[in-house]
Amino acid sequence: MSQTIERIHLTVAGLTYALAPLESVGDLKRAVVEAVRAGGGFVDLTLDDGQRLSILVASASQIVISAQTVPLDSSHADGERYDQLHLAEPWDGEEDTPFDLI
């Protein structure tokens, strides 16, 4: 049995963001609904590349949350194929990895 990971994407005003693996669909939905009920507010997220993002959510905001379950292996872990990373040398475990280790 292969391991899987849930990849979450958030689309706001036509722009789509890949979220960090630790972001939760349930937590995100609750934060959006809470901001709308409060008359507007910021929802803070972490993107897949580690960047922090704050989105102002109001009753007129158009937000789409999508989730996809993908196999967890070297060709899918970070949304890129491993051979597309163009590594000069094989990874020996001493430096930072070119992909997320879970």
* DSSP H/E element including 37: helix 25-37
Q: Which residue has the tokens 């789409």?
A: 64
Please tell me the predicted confidence (pLDDT) of residue 6: 86
Q: Where are the domains of the chain?
A: 4-84
The yes-or-no verdict on residue 82 having pLDDT over 50 is no
pTM: 0.64
Encode pLDDT of 3-40 as tens digits. Answer: 888 899 999 989 999 999 889 999 999 999 999 999 99
First and final CA of the chain: distance in angstroms? 17
Bigger pLDDT: 87 vs 13: 13
